[in-house]
Structure 1
Amino acid sequence: MTFTHRPVLLAEAVTSVLGETTSSEQQSITIIDGTFGRGGHSREILKHLNQHSKLIAFDKDLQAIAEAKTIQDPRFQIIHESFASMAEQVPSDSIDGVLLDLGISSPQIDDPSRGFSFRGDGPLDMRMDTTRGQSAAEWLAVAEQKDIARVIKEYGEERFALQIAKAIVARREQGDSLTRTGELASLVAGVVRTREAGQDPATRTFQAIRIYINQELTDLEGGLRAAFHCLKPGGLLAVISFHSLEDRIVKQFMQGLSKVSVPRGLPLTEKQMPKPLAELLGRIKPSEEEVKENPRARSAILRVMRKIKSVPEGAIS
């Protein structure tokens, strides 16, 4: 079965990560697509690069890697790693633009065998990289109740996190561990007493467990720091987020780099004032037309910043 993915904010993201430079004006630039997915953004970026430029893409998902290998272009390189590792793969101050399109792709959601969605029954896996780490089923089979509740509350912002965790552990103690997405969705539906309009009661729980299993927020924090160090001064960072937990991390990271902290009353002239490390360039939401054509774009936010100057590695927390 073939699963398709429509990239969100395609034109806006590509313009944001490439800046104003056209392919004819480029000398030799290097761009990173930290989340290849099914390659929508990467393919569009390649259309705007000249023959001397390069695109490096990262992804943890083996299906994404297989798709990337169908691109026969000498300017393109795919790396089977998290974007959080980009600073280990490329030198500091060497990249002209970094794009991160967070969350999961439509094929991951639509394919029941991946275990990401409650809409179709499948193995309770949820790993982006199925060669590494615990599956969701393996974790739920051994995790303590307090840890399950914490994950569902913190990463899913679910009010009934404790009740869901208790139900999971009670079922496990009866010798019936959860192994299918349908089983987990049904269990959550029996516990969550109030539902948000238009939202399945399992939505927040599935999001939370997926984020935890794939360490998405930890990767994001590390990836943002890595991207900053990889960028040249003047380089651009563009990040598309889909929920408040991601967007909060991106927003705070970019705002922190764009501000300077000087003790009150310190006698400094304007020339002596320290300069910020980055400049905020804006926040973009999908158009009404895009949301109408692709409802999954509804919650997307694109934030963009430009690096102004470098700092020693480890100086950014």
Structure 2
Amino acid sequence: MGARELGLPERVPSRDGLPERVTIWEVGPRDGLQNEQAVVPVEVKLEFLDRLAAAGLGVLEATSFVHPKWVPQLADAEELLGRLDRRPGVRYPVLVPNERGLDRALAAGVRHIAVFGSATETFAQRNLNSTVDGQFAMFEPVVGRARAEGLEVRAYLSMCFGDPWEGPVPAEQVVRVGRRLLDLGCSQLSLGDTVGVATAGQVERLLDLFTGAGVGVDALAVHFHDTYGQALANTHAALRKGVSTVDSSAGGLGGCPYAESATGNLATEDLVWLLDGLGIEHGADLGELVAASRWMAERLGRPSPSRVVRALGG
């Protein structure tokens, strides 16, 4: 499909501190689908993953080993990974909440995992049944064992900008918790705007505080929700600070099962449109991504919330 048919954006490269290439960390198959009320058949999930890999995405977060009681949608994690046709050069990380989840991940042959922490006390209690400090007792053996097994470990940090129960979150608090996750041995920290309240100014301030605390931008990723329509603006702010890994969800799927005010993730297609316009390489094919999201939207029985998918007839 040619650029004229797609109406691709004009490429106007503007370095201004921007990275030359961005890694798109696709979370649609896990974070995007975990909130779906109707169980999505494993065959559909497998085809979705394959379509996204065919579109050129190099990181596909496949599933989670959270207890099925809490996220029934992902109860088929072992079956999905056992049947997954892994494409060469594509990473398929999974979310691991605790040591039991790590045991399951290791048994499934997983090589890349992620843990999920909280920057605030209330969300730590609601999501982890713990405290901000107490969560590290749970993460330490998971990260330590995983690293000893040669696994790559990523950390998600939620509620980095605002918490629906606590309000604005002090940036210094986020840096303190984030530093502890990296110090455990996590190779990357994904900063989550879980309820989508962040603004570009907040993003720049938080990233400046992290770098001022000795954390390089190469260790940081960003994860924005579009609740207030700020996900792309926030992403651009992060890119200007040198961040080169951005989380997104094909078709804008997803939310957060423990924060009702959280709407969909930044849509991968919308992200690609931004990156293409800035002349930033990413390796994905927009036409194939749009087709994959249209296909999944049909399976879910509703239109894609991605603006780019809709603009291109999805």
Normalised by the length of structure 1, the TM-score is 0.31
Looking at CA atoms only, which structure, 1 or 2, has the larger radius of gyration? 1
| Higher relative contact order structure (alpha carbons within 8 Å, sequence separation ≥ 6) | 2
